[in-house]
Amino acid sequence: MIGAPPSTGRAGWRIPRRAGFWLVGGTLLAFMAASSTPSPLYVVYQQRWHFSAAVLTAVFAVYVLALLIALLTVGGISDHVGRRPVLATALLAEAAAMVVFMAADGVGLLLLARILQGLATGAAAGAISAAVVDLQPGPRQGALTNSVAPTVGLAVGALGAGLLLQYAPAPTTLPFALLAVVFVILAAAVAFLPETVSRRPGALSSLRPRASVPPQARRAFLTAVPCLVATWAMGGLYLSLGGSVTASVLHVSNHLVGGLVVTTLTGAGAVASVVVRDMDPRRVMTAGSASLAIGTALTMTAIALESAPLFFVGTAVAGSGFGAAFLGAFRSLAQLAEPAERAELFASIYVVSYLAFSVPAVLAGLAVPSAGLHDTATAYGALVLVLALLAVVAGAVARRPRQDAADGPAKAQHAPAETGRTPEAVRDPEAVRTP
């Protein structure tokens, strides 16, 4: 049974459920902070080991692809073996990845560290998202935590790494040493987490990747694809080449600024997610895509003028669009799926999102040697701008057929009552978002 405590015959002492909720939320934040910690360090690695921008983006992309593979295979295994063992294993694997980062003396170990980190994060993602919902003190705290903690974690990781890189000794090892300690402590604490799932058969069959879109959601899914690709492609650019752009194009040598670029994007996304969480998801997706387009245009102008202040303004606007547009797209799709269809729909969403997160960044890295970082970043921004505008148009067109229905008793927001589902049941998909 999921969402209720199983038999406690051999359970031993457990922390209260509310404390468990915050422990799992903190674990999610720590995983996301670790994922963005290398971003400000890429410039240093590149200067130290003399590798190309293509290699740099490959180092970034292998993390995303490893995460996606783990998410699609072991992402649901905690429903069968329990949340605690999956979380403990993933946390120890993440700690091991931090040790590999500390020992890295070339691209080979850097790639290994990122692959191990991606596998650990992907394995933990499903268990974390489910445990947050299982343990939430109130009906909406799980959704809010799963929406905000990833972007806050990304912001904290990039900012912390930038600070240590600029002002602390051993800047390429100290961040990972601190994170390794954090993950070991969290792994120990998870042993006292209340278990919300009883063991049940089917663990091996759950490893088979499943991704599909139910018929009733296919039109909306196609409408959301430009939004998903635009938002995550922008995120991929910042987390892979953001530090290089600030150093080489904007001529800012302070490493803290490289971390602040990622922090500004993800921090603005976190704030926007909180602000728009109760609004109509289709409106949020369209408005967020418009904000992303405006922010991208500002950053492209900043690159042309080599203006760091304007670049940060554009990044903040684009970041707010990033957070709002993705949340709106996710919620608008989630409410169209029946409970038994959600897992495969979510997998489809994340396949599109994570491929957009990694593939364009790798292509940009391949283009840098011939086109230069300035022109590559400009072309990348133009692609995101076109996709964001396409998402705005698609969202506006998709809303028109719904207008007549919106004036009658069959409003879209009343769909749960028509299908026998409660509003809370529809909100549950928002709460099981995966980072």
* HEC-encoded secondary structure of 361-374: HHHHHHHHHHHCHH
Whether residue 204 sits in one domain with residue 256: no
Domains contained in the chain, number: 2
Q: What are the tokens at 228?
A: 């998903």
Residue 425 pLDDT? 36
Mean pLDDT score, 15-42: 94
Same domain membership, residue 194 and residue 218 = no
Q: In terms of domains, do 230 and 199 share one?
A: no
pLDDT in tens, 34-56: 999 999 999 899 999 999 999 99
| Buried b / exposed e along 331-348 (16+ C-beta atoms within 10 A) | bbbbbbbeeebbbbbbbb
For 65-104, what is each residue's pLDDT tens digit? 999 999 888 888 888 888 899 999 999 999 999 999 999 9
Q: Are residues 108 and 232 in the same domain?
A: no
Instruction: Please choose, from the candidates 124, 75, 77, 76, the residue with its C-alpha nearest in 3D space to the C-alpha of residue 97.
Output: 124
Check: CB of residue 353 under 8 Å from CB of residue 228. yes
Among residues 187, 209, 231, the one where a domain terminates is 209
256-267, pLDDT tens digit by residue? 888 899 999 999
- Domain C-terminal end among 185, 209, 233: 209
Specify whether 189 is located in the same domain as 313: no
**Closest by CA position to 34, among listed 165, 150, 126:** 150
On whether both 89 and 122 belong to a single domain, the answer is yes
Closest CA to 3 of 19, 23, 21: 21
- Residue ranges of the alpha helices (H) in 136-217? 141-167, 174-190
223 and 205 share one domain: no
What average pLDDT is seen over the chain?
A: 86
Residues sharing a CB contact under 8 Å with residue 309, sequence separation 6 or more, in sequence order: 302
> Looking at the domain assignment, is residue 417 inside a domain?
no
- In this structure, the answer to whether residues 396 and 269 fall within a common structural domain is yes
Q: Domain boundary at 166, 184, 209, which?
A: 209
Q: How far apart are CA 433 and CA 435, in angstroms?
A: 7
Tell me the average pLDDT across 181-202. 90
* Mean pLDDT of all residues in 142-164: 87
Same structural domain, 181 and 296: no
Question: Residue 20, class by beta-carbon neighbours within 10 Å (0-12 exposed, 13-18 middle, 19+ buried)?
Answer: buried
- The domain that holds 390 is classified in CATH as 1.20.1250.20
Q: Can you say whether the dihedral through the CA atoms of 310, 312, 316, 319 is positive or negative?
A: positive
Domain that holds residue 257: 212-401
Q: What is the pLDDT of residues 377-431, one digit of tens each?
A: 999 999 999 999 999 999 888 766 555 444 444 444 444 333 333 333 333 444 4
